[in-house]
A and B are shown apart, each in its own frame.
Chain A
């Protein structure tokens, strides 16, 4: 590890240690005794899980298609049709760039963009339809998307899915398409080759993508602040709790909430390491 790497490592450890040093166990106990904080912890856990699941629904097929329709494949497929090749390559490049937008946009801009989107006629229609849907489901308290719990999930999902797509694309690229090509000769359809051969091989990448999406959702704040608001006991997640406590001058409360956030994040990271590094190594190994 380089000297700069050691400095960076020290910075991470020092930040966490400073948090733990600043807040006492009493601060943590008081925080966790607060009904509003407990609500934000639960809402964070639930919304992050839903966002991560939704992200995987998008990331697995999208990552797979992007990996299998790489530059070389397009060049090879349209070798004798230069115009179509150019169009296909441009289209591929455009999709890649579009998928990167949520990663490079400032989080507040993502929130504002979502808010503006849901002010359009189509957005309003979706908002009303969501309200009707939740009423039908027996949750009349959820009155649409904007400034409601679905806005928290959508704000988290918009950014988290982009990271998950990148991870799944890299995973499928790394696996390569040769096992699938052999599966074709054995009689498998494209879907069978994907679901029976490629997907099981991508499980480690899948766990990594899910964790990344989950962790990213947990830390998401900008889009939630703008698009879901900071209503206590309604759309308040842990990152919002930190902000609200800080905003009202309760630095100890803010640090205590941060510590809960850090602890949850570390637990998830440890769990992921155990899942991906432990278990049956034979099954994931490349032959």
Chain B
């Protein structure tokens, strides 16, 4: 479960004040809002990548507000995926386990498991350069899921894809959510996508969270 308790973030002239939000364990939370309303800023703050001025972030009732991003156990898929160009796909997926000093056998098993789930077995030995948009999204998803995060944050994961790929990936997100039993917080401004995937909906408008 993720709970934001009166979160306030200042970023230059822009600010979000007293943001409160809860996505219960295992639910698929959708956060909607117009472009530039601060959705990504909020997601980055949850991941620990942005300083907050006040308030608290609770993950499964643990206060993670002061924790470094590496200690939060939150999987993050940024909008532009940001794959590591010098690592093969399998190395990208292994990365989160390797830095946790998980043994190589367990790492390989997890890579195979995620490769099966996300249908990326054929590209495991490839570098990100030259992969399609959908393939990159699936690799980024596998990388974020590798260490079994407590929360998966997705920043507009379907926005830059064509309709066919988008439908396939939306289906895949639903499968991943069910099979990995992970709490998801998904940012989008697409209503159809929100209706299709979300079990908990909220909206960020004029710096406030309102029920969608």
Chain A residues within CB distance 8 Å of chain B: 76-77, 79-80, 178-179, 181-189, 192, 196-197, 200-201, 203, 280-287
Residues of B within 8 A of A285 (CB): 85, 127, 129
Chain B CB within 10 Å, residue with most, of A182, A188, A282: A182
Assess the A201–B68 pair: CB atoms within 8 A.
no
Assess the B84–A189 pair: CB atoms within 8 A.
no
Query: Contacts A179-B84, A184-B68, A201-B86 hold; do A283 and B127 have CB atoms under 8 A apart?
Result: yes
Chain B CB within 10 Å, residue with most, of A183, A184, A196, A203: A184
Chain A proximity mask over B90-111: 1 for CB below 8 Å, otherwise 0: 0000011001100000000000
CA distance in complex: A6, B68 (Å):
54
Shortest beta-carbon distance from A276 to chain B in Å: 14
Assess the A187–B49 pair: CB atoms within 8 A.
no
Query: Contacts A182-B78, A185-B70, A188-B70 hold; do A284 and B85 have CB atoms under 8 A apart?
Result: yes
CA distance in complex: A181, B84 (Å):
11
Assess the A178–B78 pair: CB atoms within 8 A.
yes
Residues of A within 8 A of B129 (CB): 281-283, 285, 287
- Chain B residues 146-178 with CB under 8 Å of chain A are 146-147
Secondary structure at the B interface, as helix, strand, loop or mixed, is loop
Chain B residues within CB distance 8 Å of chain A: 10-12, 47-49, 51, 53, 68-70, 72, 74-76, 78, 80-87, 95-96, 99-100, 127-130, 136, 143-144, 146-147
Name 8 interchain pairs, CB-CB below 8 A, sorted by A.
A183-B95, A184-B48, A184-B70, A186-B144, A187-B96, A187-B99, A282-B127, A287-B82
Shortest beta-carbon distance from B56 to chain A in Å: 19
Assess the A185–B95 pair: CB atoms within 8 A.
no
Chain A CB within 10 Å, residue with most, of B82, B86, B96: B86
Query: Contacts A179-B84, A286-B85, A287-B85 hold; do A189 and B99 have CB atoms under 8 A apart?
Result: yes
Closest B residue by C-beta to A203: B86
Assess the B10–A284 pair: CB atoms within 8 A.
no
CA distance in complex: A281, B130 (Å):
11
Assess the B68–A196 pair: CB atoms within 8 A.
no
New contact pairs (11) apart from A184-B48, A285-B129, A287-B82, CB-CB < 8 Å: A80-B53, A181-B49, A181-B69, A183-B95, A185-B48, A186-B95, A186-B147, A203-B86, A283-B85, A287-B83, A287-B84
